[in-house]
Amino acid sequence: MKRDFISITDAGNRLSSLITSAVKLKAELRRGTGHVKQKPLSGMNVGLIFEKSSTRTRVSFEVGINQLGGNALYLSSKDLQMGRGETVADTARVLSRYVDCLVYRAYENRLMRELAGHSTVPVVNALDDTEHPCQILADLMTIREKFGKLKGLKLAYVGDGNNVCHSLMLGAAMSGVNFVAATPSAYAPSEKIGQMAASISLENRCSIEVITDPQIAVRKANVVYTDVWVSMGQEAEKDEKEKVFMPFQVNSRLMALADSHAIVMHCLPAHRGMEITDDVLDGRQSVVFDQAENRLHAQKALLVWLMKR
C-alpha cells in the first residue's frame, strides 16, 4: 500500500522516528565530507511538480534525491499539459507510469488531494494553501537539535494563521509541544485544523491555543516562530495586511518577553523589517539557517520512508 505525505499528520506515530532518521542522515553527510554512503533511491525517479516558485524546497529536494542515488525531474506547471487543459487526475495516472514518487507544490489543497487520489506512487506535499508539512518536519528536527527534546516545550507562533501555522500547530500537538498562535482575529488559523490539533494534543498532554495578543503568546516561550504576512498569490492584499500585522512584528522588544534561552524561527524567505527585524533574524537566538539546512535532511528521511521497497 502506497504512502502519501499530504499533511504532517500522515507521519502518524512515525514522526519521532523520521526526525531521528533525519538527524542520522545529517551526521552521515557531515562525516562523509558531503556524501551519503547509502543510496536507497538508486535507480528511482522523483518528479517535482511546481506551480509556485521556490528556492529552499526545490533545491533541497533535488540535492537530497541526488545524494540518495535517485534522479530528480523538475516539472514546471508551465511545461506540463496539466496547465493547458489536461486534468490533474490524468496527469497523476500518466506520471505514475514513469516515476517512483511525485513531489507537488500547489496553489490548492484540493488539487493536491486529487493528484494523490489518482497517483499510484507516493505524493509529497511541498506546500499548498492548507499545509506545508515538509517545512514543519525540518522545524521539529531543528527544535529537537537545540533543546534535546520536544515534549513540554512552549512554541509561540506570531503572525498569519496560514499553511505553515496549520502544519506547525498539528506537528506540535503530535510532539507534545505546548503551542500558542497569536494572530489578528481576521487572520486566525482554520477552526477545523485547530480542533484537530486540540484533539491530538489531548493524547500527548500538551496545549493548543489561538489568541490575538503576541506579548502574551511569547511570554516564557522556548521557541518564537514567524512567517511572511503576504504569501504567494496574496500580493493584492499587501498594503492592508502590513497595516494589520505590524503590531505582530517579531522584534527585540517582543523577544525580551520570551525565555532567555529562546530560539527564533522563520521558514524563509523573510521580509526584513516587516514580520521580523534584522537584529532578531541575524541575532544570536536565530536558527533560521539551521532550519533551512534541515529541510535537506528531513526530506531525505521522508523520501526513504515513503519509497522504501
3 state SS of 55: coil
Question: Does the annotation mark 132 as catalytic?
Answer: yes
For residues 200 and 174, the answer to whether their CB atoms sit within 8 Å is: yes
**Residue tagged 511572511 (cell numbers):** 228
Dig out the grid coordinates for 108 from the structure.
490548492
**Active-site residue (options: 56, 113, 118, 132):** 132
3 state SS of 237: helix
**Active-site residue (options: 10, 67, 135, 291):** 135
**Active-site residue (options: 58, 113, 118, 295):** 295
Question: Does the annotation mark 227 as catalytic?
Answer: yes
Burial class, 308, CB count within 10 angstroms (exposed 0-12 / middle 13-18 / buried 19+): exposed
**Residue tagged 486540540 (cell numbers):** 198
Could you write out the DSSP letters of every residue in 103-158? Answer: EEE-S-HHHHHHHHHH-SS-EEES--SS--HHHHHHHHHHHHHHHS--TT-EEEEE
Give the C-alpha distances (Å, rounded to integers) separating 82 from 88, 165, 257: 6, 29, 49
Question: Does the annotation mark 135 as catalytic?
Answer: yes
Helical packing angle, 163-175 and 15-31, nearest 10°: 100
The strand order across the sheet containing 223-226 reads 208-211, 178-182, 154-158, 223-226, 263-266
- Name which of 309, 308, 303 is nearest 123 in CA terms: 303
**Active-site residue (options: 58, 101, 227, 266):** 227
For residues 176 and 206, the answer to whether their CB atoms sit within 8 Å is: yes
Q: Which residues pair with 211 in a beta bridge?
A: 182
**Active-site residue (options: 139, 267, 285, 297):** 267
Question: Does the annotation mark 3 as catalytic?
Answer: no
180 sits in which H/E element: strand 178-182
Dig out the grid coordinates for 172 from the structure.
506540535
| Residues known to be catalytic | 105, 132, 135, 227, 267, 295
